[in-house]
Structure 1
Amino acid sequence: MIDKILVNANIFSMKQAIISSFANTTRLKLLICLKSGSKNVTELIANCGLSQSAVSQHLEKLRAAGLVTGVRDGREIVYRLRSQKSGELAKSLLNFAKEVDKK
């Protein structure tokens, strides 16, 4: 039983960057914006209503967590979700938060 708890604790510590990404509202916005498809930084700024520095800073954290990838396309980088499940989870968390706020 103790071994199982330790294994679970190790899994959570390894995935802390992923879990903390979903706890940040700015990163949630970016994940939800990317759910509809690949976008460059300019498109993310326009669609998410965030500053360029905020988008760049949070995209780097999402990349480090393994949630998004970036591919160079000429002079810009186009970002996409590594898995659609992360966009779906972000949307579900936002909907859940709205539901809890109503009560």
Structure 2
Amino acid sequence: MDDFRGLLAKVGNGETLDIDEAERAFDIMTSGNATPAQMGAFLMGLKVRGETAQELAGGSRALRAKVLRVRAPEGAIDIVGTGGDHHGTYNVSSCSAFVVAGAGD
């Protein structure tokens, strides 16, 4: 956790993280090795200062390393979205799954 405290202090001082530091910070957070208060402070520090491309890339790299790879049959498609487009649209992922399933082979 000391490693994260150093990264948090750096962000708190308005300094930027390089890609490896950002990856480490996001790895620590997603591994359960930072408190909720530390994570909130870290993310708010990035937001207030403005995230750099290196920080976003490092965070992305850490998150992608934890992705659960799914084996899907040939021809499978992904129809699920998050519904978080902030445009007031209606998320129809579940409904579209029923429509596709009803279409048959």
Give TM-score, length-normalised by structure 1. Answer: 0.27
Choose between structure 1 and 2: higher strand proportion. 1
Mark the structure with the bigger radius of gyration: 2
Choose between structure 1 and 2: higher helix proportion. 1
